[in-house]
Amino acid sequence: MNTITLNRPKRRQQQRVVLNVASSKYNFLMELLGNFNFVQVENNEGDTRDEIIANLKEAAQSLKLIKEGKLIGRPAEELLTEL
């Protein structure tokens, strides 16, 4: 599934809509939305492979520093309540 975010033009207050669309219907929906002059499509493809690897390396380094006591961790409960 692909996710697209729609924004209204900045003339008025913006509203954001996030849609989860089946991959088979994605191109159709994008073409349809492109025909509306009041819709601004923000295409979010997600992280690239290199970005994911860099994020994992950073997380592993942070975990190592926490285990060594050089960085203060965050309780899991605090993280979950924030979500």
Residue 34 shares a structural domain with residue 56 = no
Nearest Cα neighbor of 7 from 50, 34, 42 is: 42
What is the chain's length?
A: 83
Q: Are residues 13 and 31 in the same domain?
A: yes
Domain count, the chain: 2
> How confident is residue 59, by pLDDT bands cut at 50, 70 and 90?
very high
Residue 10 has a pLDDT of 58
Q: Are residues 37 and 55 located together in one domain of the fold?
A: no
14 and 35, same domain (yes or no): yes
Task: Identify which has the larger pLDDT, 80 or 10.
Answer: 80
**High-pLDDT (> 90) share of the chain, %:** 27
31, 59: one domain: no
Q: Are residue 33 and residue 58 in the same domain, yes or no?
A: no
Same domain membership, residue 53 and residue 39: no
The span from the CA of 78 to the CA of 38, in Å, is 40
> 38 and 11 share a domain?
yes
Instruction: For the full predicted model, state whether its pTM sits above 0.75.
Output: no
Give me the domain span that covers residue 59.
49-82
| Comparison of pLDDT for 17 and 5, the residue scoring more | 17
If you average pLDDT over residues 41-48, what whole number do you get?
73
pLDDT in tens, 6-27: 665 556 676 788 888 898 998 8
Sequence-separated (6 or more) residues with CB below 8 Å from residue 73: 66
Residues 39 and 56 in one domain: no
